[in-house]
Amino acid sequence: MLTSIEMEGNAAFGLRFLGQAQEHPMPNCTKNIISIDALNNAPMAEACELLAPIFERSPWLANAIVQGRPFFSTTELGDRIRETIFSLSEQDALILLNAHPELAPSSPETMTDASQSEQGRLGLITPKPDIARRLIDLNAAYRARHGFPFVTALHKFQTMDAVFAQFEHRLNADTPTEMRSALGEVVSVATQRLDDVVEAGQRGVNCAQPTIAPTHSRKVAQ
């Protein structure tokens, strides 16, 4: 379990563009469909590459997850993702959370394709000025209080009103509690992305016995 955290939120924040932003087109790419069998049987480097898009700019986490092969279903893989993320040290948890973008960042084109798609669904690639202004204030206040960006699983929301309600509620939480909440959101994002790219016939069902030898599970390096 994560221990209590004491941190200073003294990061400086620049002003973001509040007017009509230049429109950034949504990424037009085909998702790479993967299978649990392929993940189990691929060489280590290739397996990490297959799983890396599930996590936000955190290939080291994909490496840690792959160490737990073989997996017999997406449910088992999801359990491994959850277990690994919640067993991270405070330092690694901060690295993971800080790899995620803020909501409506000033340079949305720098986000991963997955994040652009998730934020774009709610209009956060080119937000209206009032929404952009509100998010600038909330993003700055949240990071100053907790030391990492606000992370939420946007696939659970249909409106920005619901997003703002959660944002404002979590802003006032104590940091150790909020870190666990944020890690839970990372798990939700990762398992949703996994469900989006895994072969439909292998979602939540047992797969064929992999040919590789099982690797003992181990924690991410502290």
Give dist(CA 145, CA 187) in Å, integer.
22
Q: Give the active site residue among 24, 100, 146, 216.
A: 100
Give dist(CA 68, CA 61) in Å, integer.
12
Contacts of residue 164, defined as CB under 8 A and 6 or more positions apart, other chains included, come to: 134, 138
Question: Is residue 100 flagged as an active site residue?
Answer: yes
Task: Supply 67's token pair.
Answer: 């160490």
Give dist(CA 139, CA 148) in Å, integer.
9
DSSP for residue 34: B
φ, ψ at 54 (rounded to 5°): -70, -30
* Residue pointed to by tokens 């092969």: 69
Compute how many other C-beta atoms are within 10 angstroms of the C-beta atom of residue 214: 10
**Catalytically active residues, by annotation:** 100
